[in-house]
Amino acid sequence: MTGRSDHVENRIQAFLDNELAPHEVERVRSHCAECPRCRKALEQAVAVRDILHADRNAIPLRPMWPHVRGRLNPIPSRRIRPAFALGVAAAGLAGILLGVSVGSIKGDRYGEAFIDTGYSTESVDALQTPATLSELYFSTLGTNGS
Amino acid sequence: MNEITDLTDDELMTRGASGDQDSLRILIERWETPVFAFLERMLGSSEEAQEIAQETFFRMCSHADRYRPSGRFRSWLFRIAGNLARSKLRRRAVLRFVRFDTGIHTVPTVDSMPDHSLEYNELREHVRNALSRISPRQRQALVLRHYHDMSYQEIADTMKTTVSAVESLLHRGMNALKMDFERRKVFP
């Protein structure tokens, strides 16, 4: 008869998982044949295992590789890079300077007109709209030429 | 000559470490379902499992040069996934009260359903909720054992612990599940 001190409840999981040495397998098996408490523990462990195994594996929501590849080889950002922004700013500044120098030549040519109409260079800049500038230009021509 | 898909995990990792992205892609395609399934049970959320699985594979690729081929790729990969999952759980700060989502991804055939009065989805919900109520380390050991068929030695390698500690985790985890199932009358 197996003594109660030999209960094998704490080895039952390993027994079910085939993780015990052969002599221990035999000990658990023979003990459970005689001990109602350990036999019940074994039956419950089998039931828990069956319930666990009834749950199927889930599948990924999306393939993983495209995401990982994107992080391994990051696509260059579409943000304007500082060097590019500097180039654009330099080009803009060059354009403004060119415009001012042309304007000053025209201003020299039609200097009297500016004086006549009372528009200063600052006030022309402040108008900002090409239509107004052209109106101003033709108005000065008209004043000067006619 | 072997196709690249016939190469072992170790061989693919060696190629991946030297910059062969095809090898890394094949490894990911080979392992994404098991890793996702593991994380989904650890975290109880499909979206979080997807996020952490992607992070796992990114680290696998970016640290490929640190891997030493020894036939233990699965342990190495699941260790990364397990560490990330436990970090995620710690960040949630509600370790024992994780709410599991109920999105169903796969439905078993009638033949594969166990002989229980509970419908499959209800049973699945019981299992997932019960898993969420045990400690993350017990859960990790149980999931690796029961859903990934790992030996105690492999689980010990994955969790960086001893075989006897794994046996203890599994014993306590299964007991906790048994009591949970009894309390909720999942089995007679």
b/e burial code for range B91-106 (CB count within 10 A of at least 16 → b):
eeeeeeebebeeeeee
What pLDDT, on the 0 to 100 scale, is given for residue A92? 78
What pLDDT, on the 0 to 100 scale, is given for residue B110? 34
Encoded tokens for A65: 């590789």
* pLDDT interval class at A57 (50, 70, 90): confident
Nearest residue to B45 via CA among A58, A32, A48: A58
Partner-chain residue, chosen from A13, A58, A72, that has the shortest CB–CB distance to B36: A58
Q: How far is B54 from chain A (nearest CA, A)?
A: 6
What pLDDT, on the 0 to 100 scale, is given for residue B120? 76
What pLDDT, on the 0 to 100 scale, is given for residue A105? 53
pLDDT tens-digit readout, A98-138: 776 665 555 444 443 333 333 344 433 433 444 444 444 44
What pLDDT, on the 0 to 100 scale, is given for residue A100? 65
Q: Which of B5, B38, B104, B105 to mutate to test the interface with A (most CBs of A within 10 A)?
A: B105
- Residues in chain B where the model's pLDDT stays below 50: 95, 98, 100-117
Q: Answer whether residue A39 shows pLDDT above 80.
A: yes
Q: How far is A57 from chain B (nearest CA, A)?
A: 5
Q: Which residues of B touch A68 (CB under 8 A)?
A: 24, 28, 54, 57-58, 61
What pLDDT, on the 0 to 100 scale, is given for residue A6? 81
| Helix and strand numbers, DSSP H then E, in chain B | 8, 0
Question: What does pTM read for this prediction?
Answer: 0.69
Q: Is B170 left (phi over 0), alpha (psi -120 to 50) or beta?
A: alpha
Q: What is the mean pLDDT of residues A85-98?
A: 76
